[in-house]
Amino acid sequence: MITAINPSGLWKKRLGDWVLNPYVGCEHGCYHCYCPAMPGVKFNNRGHKQAEWGTYLYPKEGIIEALRQQLRSFTPDKAKRTEWGDGWVLVSFLTDCYTPSEAKFKLTRQCLELLLEAGHKVRIQTRSALVERDFDLLAAHRQQVLLGTSIGHFDDKLARVLEPRASSPTRRLRMIEKAAGRDIPVYIAAAPFLPFHDREVLQSVLDAVLPLRPREVFCEVLNPKGDNLAMMQAALRPAYPDYADRLAGYSAEYWAKFTYKVLHYGLHRTKCFIAWPDTQRLWAKHLTPEQNKLLEQFLPPLPAVA
Protein backbone atom coordinates (compact mmCIF):
# COMPACT_ATOMS: atom_id res chain seq x y z
CA MET A 1 0.00 0.00 0.00
CA ILE A 2 1.24 3.51 -0.78
CA THR A 3 2.07 6.05 1.91
CA ALA A 4 -0.24 9.03 1.57
CA ILE A 5 1.62 11.63 3.69
CA ASN A 6 5.37 11.82 3.24
CA PRO A 7 8.11 13.90 4.90
CA SER A 8 8.94 16.94 2.82
CA GLY A 9 12.09 18.97 2.29
CA LEU A 10 9.85 21.96 1.67
CA TRP A 11 10.17 22.94 5.32
CA LYS A 12 13.29 24.73 4.03
CA LYS A 13 10.88 27.06 2.20
CA ARG A 14 8.55 27.32 5.21
CA LEU A 15 5.81 25.40 3.39
CA GLY A 16 5.42 22.46 5.71
CA ASP A 17 6.99 19.36 7.17
CA TRP A 18 4.85 16.96 5.17
CA VAL A 19 3.34 16.67 1.71
CA LEU A 20 0.45 14.80 0.17
CA ASN A 21 0.12 14.46 -3.63
CA PRO A 22 -3.17 12.85 -4.73
CA TYR A 23 -2.00 12.51 -8.34
CA VAL A 24 1.09 11.79 -10.41
CA GLY A 25 1.31 14.36 -13.18
CA CYS A 26 -0.68 17.54 -13.74
CA GLU A 27 -3.00 18.64 -16.51
CA HIS A 28 -2.20 22.35 -16.30
CA GLY A 29 0.94 21.89 -18.41
CA CYS A 30 2.85 24.93 -17.12
CA TYR A 31 6.04 25.16 -19.16
CA HIS A 32 7.99 26.83 -16.36
CA CYS A 33 7.19 24.08 -13.86
CA TYR A 34 10.21 22.18 -12.60
CA CYS A 35 8.19 19.44 -10.87
CA PRO A 36 8.54 17.00 -13.81
CA ALA A 37 12.31 17.19 -13.31
CA MET A 38 11.98 16.15 -9.65
CA PRO A 39 12.59 12.52 -8.58
CA GLY A 40 9.10 12.14 -7.13
CA VAL A 41 7.67 12.58 -10.62
CA LYS A 42 10.44 11.08 -12.75
CA PHE A 43 10.34 7.75 -10.92
CA ASN A 44 6.55 7.44 -10.93
CA ASN A 45 5.33 8.87 -14.24
CA ARG A 46 5.53 5.66 -16.30
CA GLY A 47 8.38 6.90 -18.45
CA HIS A 48 7.02 10.24 -19.61
CA LYS A 49 9.54 12.90 -20.63
CA GLN A 50 9.56 16.41 -19.18
CA ALA A 51 8.24 17.76 -22.49
CA GLU A 52 5.09 15.67 -21.97
CA TRP A 53 4.20 17.48 -18.73
CA GLY A 54 0.53 18.38 -18.87
CA THR A 55 -0.47 15.45 -21.07
CA TYR A 56 -0.82 12.78 -18.38
CA LEU A 57 -2.40 12.35 -14.97
CA TYR A 58 -2.49 9.23 -12.80
CA PRO A 59 -4.76 9.26 -9.77
CA LYS A 60 -3.03 7.47 -6.92
CA GLU A 61 -4.94 4.26 -6.54
CA GLY A 62 -5.76 3.45 -2.94
CA ILE A 63 -4.66 6.82 -1.53
CA ILE A 64 -7.87 7.40 0.43
CA GLU A 65 -7.68 4.11 2.29
CA ALA A 66 -3.93 4.55 2.76
CA LEU A 67 -4.50 7.98 4.30
CA ARG A 68 -7.26 6.67 6.54
CA GLN A 69 -4.93 3.95 7.83
CA GLN A 70 -1.99 6.34 8.26
CA LEU A 71 -4.05 8.81 10.28
CA ARG A 72 -4.73 6.17 12.91
CA SER A 73 -1.18 6.67 14.17
CA PHE A 74 -0.10 9.93 12.49
CA THR A 75 -1.75 12.39 14.84
CA PRO A 76 -1.33 16.20 14.85
CA ASP A 77 0.99 16.05 17.86
CA LYS A 78 3.40 13.95 15.75
CA ALA A 79 3.33 16.27 12.74
CA LYS A 80 5.88 18.88 13.77
CA ARG A 81 9.37 18.00 12.57
CA THR A 82 10.93 21.45 12.27
CA GLU A 83 10.25 24.99 13.42
CA TRP A 84 10.16 26.18 9.83
CA GLY A 85 7.69 23.53 8.67
CA ASP A 86 5.63 23.86 11.87
CA GLY A 87 3.77 20.60 11.27
CA TRP A 88 1.85 21.74 8.20
CA VAL A 89 0.80 19.18 5.59
CA LEU A 90 1.20 20.67 2.10
CA VAL A 91 -1.40 19.67 -0.51
CA SER A 92 0.30 19.57 -2.99
CA PHE A 93 3.75 20.04 -4.53
CA LEU A 94 4.47 17.61 -7.39
CA THR A 95 0.98 18.00 -8.81
CA ASP A 96 -1.76 20.59 -8.60
CA CYS A 97 -4.26 19.11 -6.18
CA TYR A 98 -7.04 20.86 -8.14
CA THR A 99 -5.96 19.69 -11.58
CA PRO A 100 -9.11 19.64 -13.81
CA SER A 101 -9.81 15.92 -13.35
CA GLU A 102 -10.19 16.51 -9.61
CA ALA A 103 -13.72 17.64 -10.51
CA LYS A 104 -14.42 13.98 -11.37
CA PHE A 105 -12.16 12.00 -9.04
CA LYS A 106 -12.50 14.18 -5.90
CA LEU A 107 -9.37 12.67 -4.34
CA THR A 108 -8.27 16.04 -2.98
CA ARG A 109 -11.65 16.68 -1.41
CA GLN A 110 -11.65 13.28 0.28
CA CYS A 111 -8.05 13.71 1.51
CA LEU A 112 -8.84 17.14 2.93
CA GLU A 113 -11.87 15.81 4.76
CA LEU A 114 -9.79 13.12 6.44
CA LEU A 115 -6.85 15.43 7.27
CA LEU A 116 -8.99 18.22 8.69
CA GLU A 117 -11.29 15.93 10.66
CA ALA A 118 -8.15 14.37 12.20
CA GLY A 119 -7.06 17.85 13.33
CA HIS A 120 -4.08 18.39 11.02
CA LYS A 121 -2.99 21.77 9.72
CA VAL A 122 -3.20 21.83 5.93
CA ARG A 123 -1.59 24.25 3.49
CA ILE A 124 -3.23 24.14 0.07
CA GLN A 125 -1.36 25.34 -3.01
CA THR A 126 -3.15 25.55 -6.35
CA ARG A 127 -3.39 27.43 -9.64
CA SER A 128 -7.02 26.44 -10.07
CA ALA A 129 -10.28 28.14 -9.22
CA LEU A 130 -11.76 24.65 -8.80
CA VAL A 131 -10.83 24.98 -5.12
CA GLU A 132 -13.92 27.19 -4.73
CA ARG A 133 -15.94 23.96 -4.80
CA ASP A 134 -14.47 23.11 -1.39
CA PHE A 135 -14.82 26.49 0.31
CA ASP A 136 -17.49 24.99 2.56
CA LEU A 137 -14.96 22.53 3.94
CA LEU A 138 -12.17 25.10 4.26
CA ALA A 139 -14.42 27.65 5.97
CA ALA A 140 -15.60 25.02 8.46
CA HIS A 141 -11.96 24.31 9.39
CA ARG A 142 -10.51 27.79 8.89
CA GLN A 143 -8.32 27.49 12.01
CA GLN A 144 -6.44 24.60 10.37
CA VAL A 145 -6.20 25.87 6.80
CA LEU A 146 -3.97 28.11 4.68
CA LEU A 147 -5.09 28.50 1.06
CA GLY A 148 -2.55 29.80 -1.42
CA THR A 149 -2.26 30.45 -5.12
CA SER A 150 0.51 31.55 -7.46
CA ILE A 151 0.27 35.04 -8.94
CA GLY A 152 3.43 36.44 -10.48
CA HIS A 153 1.70 38.91 -12.82
CA PHE A 154 -1.72 39.77 -14.25
CA ASP A 155 -1.06 39.25 -17.96
CA ASP A 156 -3.73 36.66 -18.76
CA LYS A 157 -2.64 36.39 -22.41
CA LEU A 158 0.92 35.54 -21.41
CA ALA A 159 -0.34 33.11 -18.77
CA ARG A 160 -2.40 31.25 -21.38
CA VAL A 161 0.84 30.65 -23.31
CA LEU A 162 2.93 29.52 -20.33
CA GLU A 163 0.20 27.93 -18.17
CA PRO A 164 -2.20 26.69 -20.86
CA ARG A 165 -4.75 24.88 -18.72
CA ALA A 166 -4.47 26.65 -15.36
CA SER A 167 -6.92 29.30 -14.25
CA SER A 168 -5.80 32.75 -15.37
CA PRO A 169 -4.02 35.06 -12.89
CA THR A 170 -6.99 37.44 -12.74
CA ARG A 171 -9.31 34.48 -12.10
CA ARG A 172 -7.01 33.24 -9.34
CA LEU A 173 -7.11 36.69 -7.77
CA ARG A 174 -10.92 36.58 -7.74
CA MET A 175 -10.74 33.12 -6.17
CA ILE A 176 -8.45 34.27 -3.38
CA GLU A 177 -10.63 37.36 -2.85
CA LYS A 178 -13.66 35.10 -2.40
CA ALA A 179 -11.73 32.96 0.08
CA ALA A 180 -10.66 35.98 2.12
CA GLY A 181 -14.25 37.17 2.05
CA ARG A 182 -15.23 33.93 3.77
CA ASP A 183 -12.49 34.38 6.37
CA ILE A 184 -10.43 31.52 4.96
CA PRO A 185 -6.76 32.35 5.69
CA VAL A 186 -4.82 32.95 2.48
CA TYR A 187 -1.30 33.37 1.18
CA ILE A 188 0.19 34.23 -2.20
CA ALA A 189 3.18 32.84 -4.08
CA ALA A 190 4.53 35.40 -6.54
CA ALA A 191 6.16 32.55 -8.38
CA PRO A 192 7.72 32.08 -10.70
CA PHE A 193 8.63 35.72 -11.12
CA LEU A 194 9.71 35.97 -14.74
CA PRO A 195 13.00 37.49 -15.93
CA PHE A 196 11.29 39.74 -18.50
CA HIS A 197 9.21 41.42 -15.78
CA ASP A 198 10.32 44.33 -13.63
CA ARG A 199 9.72 45.53 -10.09
CA GLU A 200 6.58 47.39 -11.17
CA VAL A 201 5.01 44.06 -12.05
CA LEU A 202 5.78 42.72 -8.59
CA GLN A 203 4.42 45.90 -7.05
CA SER A 204 1.16 45.47 -8.99
CA VAL A 205 0.77 42.00 -7.47
CA LEU A 206 1.45 43.32 -3.99
CA ASP A 207 -1.02 46.19 -4.48
CA ALA A 208 -3.73 43.70 -5.43
CA VAL A 209 -3.18 41.09 -2.72
CA LEU A 210 -2.09 43.02 0.38
CA PRO A 211 -5.62 44.39 1.03
CA LEU A 212 -6.67 40.74 1.49
CA ARG A 213 -4.32 40.51 4.48
CA PRO A 214 -2.49 37.38 3.31
CA ARG A 215 -0.65 35.47 6.01
CA GLU A 216 2.43 35.39 3.73
CA VAL A 217 3.56 36.53 0.30
CA PHE A 218 6.24 34.17 -0.97
CA CYS A 219 8.36 35.06 -3.97
CA GLU A 220 10.63 32.92 -6.13
CA VAL A 221 12.33 33.98 -9.34
CA LEU A 222 12.10 31.58 -12.29
CA ASN A 223 14.32 28.65 -11.39
CA PRO A 224 15.99 26.89 -14.34
CA LYS A 225 15.67 23.13 -13.86
CA GLY A 226 15.62 20.36 -16.39
CA ASP A 227 14.13 21.42 -19.71
CA ASN A 228 11.84 24.18 -18.46
CA LEU A 229 13.72 27.09 -20.09
CA ALA A 230 13.75 25.37 -23.49
CA MET A 231 10.06 24.51 -23.17
CA MET A 232 9.21 28.10 -22.27
CA GLN A 233 11.22 29.47 -25.20
CA ALA A 234 9.42 27.19 -27.65
CA ALA A 235 6.02 28.19 -26.26
CA LEU A 236 6.84 31.91 -26.26
CA ARG A 237 8.48 32.15 -29.68
CA PRO A 238 5.31 32.59 -31.83
CA ALA A 239 3.64 35.37 -29.82
CA TYR A 240 6.43 36.69 -27.58
CA PRO A 241 9.73 36.42 -29.49
CA ASP A 242 11.37 39.13 -27.37
CA TYR A 243 10.59 37.18 -24.20
CA ALA A 244 11.96 34.01 -25.77
CA ASP A 245 15.19 35.85 -26.59
CA ARG A 246 15.45 37.09 -23.02
CA LEU A 247 15.33 33.53 -21.77
CA ALA A 248 18.18 32.61 -24.12
CA GLY A 249 20.40 34.92 -22.07
CA TYR A 250 19.19 33.66 -18.71
CA SER A 251 22.60 32.58 -17.45
CA ALA A 252 23.37 31.39 -13.93
CA GLU A 253 24.90 34.76 -13.11
CA TYR A 254 21.93 36.70 -14.50
CA TRP A 255 19.53 34.46 -12.59
CA ALA A 256 21.44 34.97 -9.32
CA LYS A 257 21.55 38.75 -9.62
CA PHE A 258 17.93 38.96 -10.76
CA THR A 259 16.94 36.81 -7.78
CA TYR A 260 18.61 39.23 -5.40
CA LYS A 261 17.16 42.30 -7.12
CA VAL A 262 13.56 41.06 -7.01
CA LEU A 263 13.65 39.61 -3.51
CA HIS A 264 15.42 42.66 -2.07
CA TYR A 265 12.71 44.87 -3.54
CA GLY A 266 9.86 42.80 -2.08
CA LEU A 267 11.43 42.65 1.36
CA HIS A 268 11.26 46.42 1.57
CA ARG A 269 7.59 46.57 0.55
CA THR A 270 5.79 44.46 3.15
CA LYS A 271 6.55 42.65 6.38
CA CYS A 272 4.72 39.50 5.23
CA PHE A 273 7.04 39.08 2.22
CA ILE A 274 9.07 35.85 2.37
CA ALA A 275 11.92 35.36 -0.06
CA TRP A 276 12.40 31.98 -1.71
CA PRO A 277 16.04 31.85 -2.79
CA ASP A 278 17.12 28.53 -4.26
CA THR A 279 17.77 26.07 -1.43
CA GLN A 280 20.93 24.80 -3.15
CA ARG A 281 22.43 28.31 -2.85
CA LEU A 282 23.68 28.23 -6.44
CA TRP A 283 23.37 32.02 -6.46
CA ALA A 284 26.00 32.44 -3.74
CA LYS A 285 29.10 32.56 -5.95
CA HIS A 286 27.60 35.33 -8.09
CA LEU A 287 26.64 37.72 -5.27
CA THR A 288 28.50 39.92 -2.82
CA PRO A 289 28.92 38.87 0.83
CA GLU A 290 26.28 41.44 1.85
CA GLN A 291 23.80 40.14 -0.72
CA ASN A 292 24.42 36.56 0.35
CA LYS A 293 23.85 37.49 3.97
CA LEU A 294 20.43 38.92 3.16
CA LEU A 295 19.28 35.81 1.27
CA GLU A 296 20.76 33.37 3.79
CA GLN A 297 18.24 34.43 6.44
CA PHE A 298 15.50 32.79 4.37
CA LEU A 299 17.16 29.40 4.37
CA PRO A 300 18.06 27.15 7.28
CA PRO A 301 21.75 27.29 8.17
CA LEU A 302 24.13 24.89 6.49
CA PRO A 303 25.25 21.97 8.65
CA ALA A 304 28.54 22.57 10.43
CA VAL A 305 31.59 21.08 8.73
CA ALA A 306 33.33 18.57 10.99
Domains of the chain: 5-296 (3.20.20.70)
- CA count, 13 A, side-chain hemisphere, 197: 23
Q: How far apart are CA 121 and CA 142, in angstroms?
A: 10
Burial tier of 159 (Cβ tally within 10 Å: 0-12, 13-18, 19+): buried
Q: Write down the pLDDT at residue 36.
A: 72
Q: Which residues of 85-119 are buried (b: 16+ CB within 10 A; e: fewer)?
A: bbbbbbbbbbbbbbbbbbeeebbbbebbbbbbebe
Q: Write down the pLDDT at residue 98.
A: 98
Q: Write down the pLDDT at residue 76.
A: 98
Q: Write down the pLDDT at residue 5.
A: 98
Question: Could you tell me the mean pLDDT of each successive run of 10 residues in the chain, 306 residues long?
Answer: 92 96 93 74 64 83 97 97 97 94 98 98 98 98 98 98 97 98 98 96 98 97 88 96 94 96 97 95 96 95 73
Q: Write down the pLDDT at residue 49.
A: 75
Strands 23-25 and 57-59: antiparallel
Q: Where are the beta strands (DSSP E) in the chain?
A: 5-7, 18-20, 23-25, 57-59, 89-91, 122-126, 145-150, 186-193, 217-221, 273-275
Q: Write down the pLDDT at residue 52.
A: 75
**Is the Cβ–Cβ distance between 277 and 267 less than 8 Å?**
no
Closest C-alpha to 175, from 134, 118, 116, 204:
134
Tens of pLDDT, residues 11-21? 999 999 999 99
Q: How many CB atoms lie within 10 A of CB 32?
A: 20
Q: How far apart are CA 57 and CA 128, in angstroms?
A: 16
> Hey, which residues does 186 pair with through a beta bridge?
147
Q: Which residues contact 242 (CB under 8 A, 6 or more apart)?
A: 196
Name the phi and psi angles at 20, rounded to 5. -130, 125
Tens of pLDDT, residues 23-75? 999 999 999 887 776 666 655 666 677 677 767 899 999 999 999 999 999 99
Q: Write down the pLDDT at residue 305.
A: 62
Q: Write down the pLDDT at residue 141.
A: 98
Q: Any idea what DSSP says for residue 292?
A: H
Across the chain, what does the average pLDDT equal? 93
